[in-house]
Amino acid sequence: MSDTNIFGKRGLAPAKLNLFLHINGRITHGDFQGYHELQTYFQLLTYGDWVHAEVTQKPEITVEWRAGDESLEHKPPSARDDLIYRAAHLLQQAAIQQGDSPLGARIRLQKNTPVGGGMGGGSSAAATTLRVLNELWALNLPPTDLQQLGVRLGADVPVFITGHNAWAEGMGERITPLPSPTANQWFVIVVPQSTSLTRSLFAHPDLPRNTPKLDYEPLLSHWQTQGGNAFESIVLKESDAILDCFHALRQHTGFARLTGSGACVFSPVISEEAGHQVSSDILNKIKAAKRVIIAKALPNALSIPA
């Protein structure tokens, strides 16, 4: 997921789509007792943020955001609110606990993945930070240890540490890498002029919380017809911008689905060229569309381009 250069290490923090997202109730035991229990499939994309890190001898951590496809409008107000900083600091503390002298890092983020879009931008950047610094600081922590650190930052972080498309349960942290039903598929993702607030959605009284658990095989084989998104009906009722983008995408492709808790909506298309045509039509006609991403699904971690 990354390449070494003379300045340090640069890694892609791939965005994701939830091909479906079901809420099956609440977790009844363990560390996450009381949290919502999910079934979902994480499809990673060839598109995302870029994380560049350099080692410093002083144990200081700095994070600089640079605008890419996404502006810096939603940059965290302070370093300690930034998942990238928190990931680096957490790994630094793990190094100290195992007896290593702490090093520091200068980290730059090229921001491409929408903020508040349900595409995992912050979680993916945090995971890439853990992976990159684990190598640069020569800590040699195994992936399982990095995943244990990652879940302390957010339930989506572990899947990005594995770098594989995966079926997920629990809060999303119990992951099973499985072959993708959409490997090498092109997707159109519409980014609305709106964001979605996950915490308020989880507390919404109309949220479907008791979808029966299903085996992964029928869901993956028929993800468009057998799967759904628990947040979709609520989000579409509460945001006209997301609703307009959803209807426009479905009109053009015959399908649309919310990813994560929103706000982005996506659809598979037959080719990159078809994706550009859909994108052009939607951007010309739908004022609620901020931008459109055309990206390819990853078949596995090894195919992430540098």
Q: How far apart are CA 193 and CA 304, in angstroms?
A: 29
Q: Which two tokens stand for residue 126?
A: 């945090």
Per-residue model confidence (pLDDT) at position 39: 96
Q: How many CB atoms lie within 10 A of CB 193?
A: 17
Amino acid residing at 108: R
Number of residues assigned to the chain: 306
- Would you say residue 3 has pLDDT above 70? no
**Catalytic residue selected from 9, 16, 111, 290:** 16
- Nearest Cα residue to 37 out of 214, 219, 237, 257: 214
Per-residue model confidence (pLDDT) at position 199: 65
Per-residue model confidence (pLDDT) at position 198: 65
**Catalytic residue selected from 9, 82, 111, 156:** 156
Q: Helices 240-253 and 272-285, interaxial angle, to 10°?
A: 140
Contacts of 28 (CB under 8 A, 6+ apart): none
Known active-site residue 111: no
- Would you say residue 276 has pLDDT above 50? yes
Per-residue model confidence (pLDDT) at position 301: 56
- Would you say residue 2 has pLDDT above 70? no
Domains of the chain: 2-178 (3.30.230.10), 186-301 (3.30.70.890)
Q: How far apart are CA 169 and CA 160, in angstroms?
A: 15
Please provide the DSSP assignment of 58-124 as one string.
S--EEEEEEESSS-STT--SSGGG-HHHHHHHHHHHHHHHTTPPPPEEEEEEEE-SPTTSSS-HHHH
Roughly how many angstroms between the first and final C-alpha of the chain, as a whole number? 7
Known active-site residue 31: no
* 58-112 confidence digits (pLDDT tens): 999 999 999 999 999 989 999 889 999 999 999 999 999 999 989 999 999 999 9
- Tokens 């949290």 -> residue: 35
Q: Which two tokens stand for residue 182?
A: 């959409």
* 199-254 confidence digits (pLDDT tens): 677 777 778 888 899 999 999 999 999 999 999 999 999 999 999 999 999 999 99
Give the count of alpha carbons within 13 A of 157, CB side only: 26
**Main-chain phi, psi angles of 173, to 5 degrees:** -90, -20
| Angle at CA of residue 39, ends 36 and 42, nearest 5° | 115
